[in-house]
A = this chain, B = another copy of it.
Amino acid sequence: MKHRSKPIPSFIKNQRLVEQRRRQIVQGAVDLFVRKGFHKTTTREIARACGLSIGTMYEYIQTKEDVLYLVCDYIHSELERRLTEAIREEDSGRESLKKAISQLFRVMGEMSDYVLLIYQETKSLPKETMKYVLQKEEEITGHFERILEKGIRDGTLSLSPSSVKLMAHNIMVMGQMWTFRRWVLARHYSLEEYTRLQTALLLRDLSLDEGGG
């Protein structure tokens, strides 16, 4: 199930330009959304932030919600890109998992504002558009599912097949947890400590001698 982005119509014919301008729009909007939230950000602010006139901006989008979608899609793509770059084909399942979890925590630490944004504003998207965003989220979780399955196959991880999906989600949630609860966790743990403790917990759940589910 390969993810397809929702096509946003544009009045502009030059496709290259459309992509460039939309990157501009996303870059201008993302920090505004993070700082003020989607609803409190005005289209005029977005236009100013991305260096386009309001009229020009609207040549490349149809509604303000399109900007939110573009932002969410960008964040997800960035997330996925950075996650997958840590995965090597030749590694064992367990090794892959270790690296992926480590990268997950690092990336979530660095992109926590953005991840928070997705969780808080996805519901502001039109129903149809929201599905695209949720599907992308599921797809990212899918990478962990595949690592876990590889570990089961090559015997380096222990997990019942029916728990694979759940465990993949658990891993993702532990990553996101830092973004949701940083305001309190950071008072007690550094990101490194947090990463170490949570990784230990997760790997122990998947150890051979103990079994899972």
Contacts and interface: CB of A to CB of B under 8 A. Distances in A.
Nearest to A137: B184
Interface string A164-203: 0110011001100100110111001100001001101100
Contacts of A210: 204, 210
A173 B166 contact: no
Interface residues of A, number: 37
Nearest to A200: B213
B169 A181 contact: yes
A183 B134 CA distance: 9
Contacts of A44: 11
Contacts of A213: 197, 200
A185 B166 contact: yes
A57 B212 CA distance: 54
A189 B213 CA distance: 13
A163 interface: yes
A46 to B, nearest CB: 15
Interface of A: 11, 37, 39, 44, 119-121, 123-124, 134, 138, 141, 163, 165-166, 169-170, 173-174, 177, 180-181, 183-185, 188-189, 194, 197-198, 200-201, 204-205, 210, 212-213
